Structure 1
Amino acid sequence: MIRRPLAPWWLATPSRFAGLTRNHARIALALLGMLLAATLMAYATPGPPPVSHDPANRGNDQADVVLYETIVDNLRHGGAYYLVTADALRAGNYPLRPFVTFRLPTLAMVQAAIPPRAVALMLYLLVAAVALAWWQRLSPAFTRGPPRLVAMALLAGGMMAFVQSDLAPFHEIWAGLLIALSLAVHRPGSWVSAVAFGLAAALIRETAGLYLALMFALAWLSGDRREAIGWGVAVAVLAAALALHAHAVGQVVRPLDPSSPGWSGLLGFGFFVRTMTISTALGIAPLWLAAPLVGLTLFGWAAWRSELALRVLVTLSAYAAVLAVFGRTDTFYWGLLVAPTLLVGLAFAPDGLRDLVTAAMDRRRITVTRVVR
């Protein structure tokens, strides 16, 4: 006897877990329990230094932002990017090796060319574009308006840090929004805009290159060779830009300039969880509640049966692995690359949980009756 999927609560179509057999549902529930338990590893993971919230200590609380502001100001006064960046890094006791300690010049050059108010306006317009694109993309996912509004509220919760204009010099702010926009505008057979926004994110922050590689792999595995070529071209453009960037950095670095301590923090999955709580509205909740909610967001993205959900889940999982293996306590801001879309997964979790529990508790049996004539 095949169990018919229950009618969805919020979603327009049954979740990915609808119709599972009892044994498969129980396995899935066990894995979910392990995921939620793993999120509590955040308690054993060191977080970034506490912020004083004292304007007089902004130089310490937001040292990286102040660094990027200094670079932009010097560019506005006629400085050359690599020279002023090297001087700013030395003045702040930052490492200058390897070349990736220098940010790509894209964002600083753009911001130096326009007034500060225009920079803030561009940021708000980008946030609005992300919200509009996700509203359009999420509309078919829900049968009613209230769940859709909940999903948008969760999107807003993931973008709390992205509407702070004083963080506009921060590269991850722009790259994270562009990745979210790239995901929202992508559709099968319509991928040019998604590639363009993804490449823009990577040319601002090269760590977004992982997103390009993931989208290339997904396009290739899905059999869409044209889209895969598009993402492959974006990866090649980024590689060429990084080669030129490395050469330019080599011209200004001195033999005695310090090197980075490396990126092998090995802080584990708990660091990803803590990073996500810091980067989103979950930061206002106690860790005992916020940490499991991060796990439920991942579950929710797995529950929504759609091509977009798969892309978001793969992206979140890949950056979770990067943060777990390579992240340091002072590189928690890498999480901003995927923070905007994270919490939306909670909107898909209720249907997924209901379907899993229902399937796991199914006690029906197949009864065979032999008729003798």
Structure 2
Amino acid sequence: MMRRVPAPLWLAQPSRFAGLAPRNAAAALVALALLLLACLLVFAAPVPPAASGDAAQRSDDQADVVLYETIVANVRHGGGYYATAADAMRAGDYPLKPFVTFRLPTLAMVQAAVPHAIVVILLYLLAAAVALAWYRRLAPAFARPPPRIVAMVLLAAGLMAFVQRDLLAFHEIWAGLLIALSLGVHRDGQWLPAVAFGLSAALIRETAGLYLLLMAILALAGGDRREGAAWIAAGAILALALAAHAHAVAEVVGPLDPQSPGWSGHLGFGFFVRTMTLSTALMIVPLWLAAPLVGLALFGWAAWRDVLGLRVLVVIAAYAAVLSVFGRVDTFYWGLLVAPLLLVGLVFVPDGARDLLAAVSDRRRITVKRIVR
């Protein structure tokens, strides 16, 4: 017994929801409705303090960025990273405990070693590499050029914050681009570049270590032990780097230095939605429209019948959970780790929604019978 599968609208092949049994399709529709309702929790989520827009107030509006710029400048002039970072954090009334309040030295050391203009060029080249990798990866997914163009526009909307020169010293900007590039270059049997870029992201911002863990689990679940071992090895390298980092931090932190208030904000799913609206072009869209678009983007990634679509969905969902449980109002920028790719999921929504509705309403069956004479 076969179910009728409608021809794709934009995609080269039917979506993941094509041909579902009506009962399963109805359950998926209910899940989508609940997801969209959950997105409305954004109206109950706290809002990070708005920037004044006054250049004279930049030290307050972008205090973290100014802190990182100060550290880079002092290292460039001969200061040691950890001593310099400790002094700058004390001057800015930042907590110095536990050791993860200090950023890994990777980005600061690189930026201190090369001219500022080169750092700007590297950022733009990295963003361009993300766009090229995803254009090549998405091109075969669509039957015609228009949806490919739409996908690239949506990718650009997700990269809006990642090409701002004022944020050069912000670690999540580089780590988010490297995660997006890692996913974009991933291919079955050709995973080494993806592992290398993922490890680079984690060595810049250790919270990208979750990405390494997720990719290891997905690789092993997919039956590729070699790839899984490579991601585990990358995680081991990160663990060694963090151990050395913790030791170096202990050398410059004193007993009277302040402790972090912790990372257990319990701000809920609405806070994740809020971070996505602040980290992408959705910030220029009314919140009543931007919030459900976040949910639809997640639905779109679920609809793409490709193993990469599932990986992107799992990564975004995992960081959504982290932000929902552990995020604080002043750590909304964690969302930048997954923001570049979120909106691309919207390009899969037309086919996914049509296939889901068709599956729910389909009561016809094509029965194949074998007649023996």
Sort the TM-score into its range (normalised by shorter chain): over 0.9
- Give the Cα–Cα distance (whole angstroms) in 2 for the partners of residues 165 and 102 of structure 1: 22
Worse-superposed segment, 354-363 or 91-100: 354-363
Q: Aligned ranges for residues 179-258 of structure 1 at < 5 Å?
A: 179-258=179-258
- Give the Cα–Cα distance (whole angstroms) in 2 for the partners of residues 268 and 174 of structure 1: 26
- Give the Cα–Cα distance (whole angstroms) in 2 for the partners of residues 252 and 314 of structure 1: 38
Q: Summarize the Cα distance change of 1:366–1:11 in structure 2 as closer, same or farther, 3 Å threshold.
A: closer
- Give the Cα–Cα distance (whole angstroms) in 1 for the partners of residues 17 and 223 of structure 2: 25
Partner of 2:56: 56
Q: Aligned ranges for residues 260-271 of structure 1 at < 5 Å?
A: 260-271=260-271
2:2–2:365 Cα contact (<8 Å) kept: no
Partner of 1:176: 176
Deviation at 1:241, TM superposition (A): 0.1
- Give the Cα–Cα distance (whole angstroms) in 2 for the partners of residues 225 and 49 of structure 1: 46
Deviation at 1:213, TM superposition (A): 0.3
- Give the Cα–Cα distance (whole angstroms) in 1 for the partners of residues 43 and 51 of structure 2: 19
Where structure 1 has 5 or more consecutive residues not aligned to the other structure, the ranges are 368-373
Deviation at 1:50, TM superposition (A): 1.0
- Give the Cα–Cα distance (whole angstroms) in 2 for the partners of residues 208 and 299 of structure 1: 23
2:15–2:355 Cα contact (<8 Å) kept: yes
Deviation at 1:360, TM superposition (A): 1.2
User: C-alpha offsets along residues 288-311 of structure 1, whole Å, 9 cap, x if unaligned?
Assistant: 000000000000000000011011
SS of residue in 2 equivalent to 1:251 = helix
SS of residue in 1 equivalent to 2:107 = helix
- Give the Cα–Cα distance (whole angstroms) in 1 for the partners of residues 15 and 327 of structure 2: 33
Q: Summarize the Cα distance change of 1:365–1:309 in structure 2 as closer, same or farther, 3 Å threshold.
A: closer
- Give the Cα–Cα distance (whole angstroms) in 2 for the partners of residues 295 and 151 of structure 1: 17
User: C-alpha offsets along residues 288-337 of structure 1, whole Å, 9 cap, x if unaligned?
Assistant: 00000000000000000001101100000100000000000000000000
- Whether 1:95 and 2:95 are equivalent positions in the alignment is yes
2:3–2:365 Cα contact (<8 Å) kept: no
- Give the Cα–Cα distance (whole angstroms) in 2 for the partners of residues 26 and 216 of structure 1: 32
Partner of 2:40: 40
Deviation at 1:342, TM superposition (A): 0.4
Deviation at 1:2, TM superposition (A): 2.7
User: C-alpha offsets along residues 167-195 of structure 1, whole Å, 9 cap, x if unaligned?
Assistant: 01000000000000000101110000000
Partner of 1:134: 134
Amino acid at match of 2:323: L
Deviation at 1:365, TM superposition (A): 6.7
- Give the Cα–Cα distance (whole angstroms) in 2 for the partners of residues 59 and 100 of structure 1: 23
- Give the Cα–Cα distance (whole angstroms) in 2 for the partners of residues 253 and 203 of structure 1: 22
Q: Aligned ranges for residues 1-373 of structure 1 at < 5 Å?
A: 1-364=1-364
- Give the Cα–Cα distance (whole angstroms) in 1 for the partners of residues 47 and 151 of structure 2: 28
2:4–2:365 Cα contact (<8 Å) kept: no
Amino acid at match of 1:66: V
Q: Tell me the TM-score normalized by structure 1.
A: 0.97
Partner of 1:371: none
- Give the Cα–Cα distance (whole angstroms) in 2 for the partners of residues 190 and 4 of structure 1: 35
User: C-alpha offsets along residues 66-105 of structure 1, whole Å, 9 cap, x if unaligned?
Assistant: 0000000001110000000000000000000000000000
Deviation at 1:31, TM superposition (A): 0.7
2:300–2:346 Cα contact (<8 Å) kept: yes
SS of residue in 1 equivalent to 2:252 = coil
- Give the Cα–Cα distance (whole angstroms) in 1 for the partners of residues 241 and 116 of structure 2: 26
Partner of 1:370: none
Deviation at 1:366, TM superposition (A): 8.6
Where structure 2 has 5 or more consecutive residues not aligned to the other structure, the ranges are 368-373
Deviation at 1:362, TM superposition (A): 2.1
2:209–2:235 Cα contact (<8 Å) kept: yes
- Give the Cα–Cα distance (whole angstroms) in 1 for the partners of residues 366 and 224 of structure 2: 42
SS of residue in 2 equivalent to 1:177 = helix
- Give the Cα–Cα distance (whole angstroms) in 2 for the partners of residues 18 and 307 of structure 1: 16
- Give the Cα–Cα distance (whole angstroms) in 1 for the partners of residues 347 and 47 of structure 2: 27
Deviation at 1:3, TM superposition (A): 2.1
- Give the Cα–Cα distance (whole angstroms) in 2 for the partners of residues 151 and 271 of structure 1: 26
- Give the Cα–Cα distance (whole angstroms) in 2 for the partners of residues 144 and 328 of structure 1: 43
- Give the Cα–Cα distance (whole angstroms) in 2 for the partners of residues 24 and 228 of structure 1: 31
Deviation at 1:364, TM superposition (A): 3.2
- % identity of equivalent residues: 72
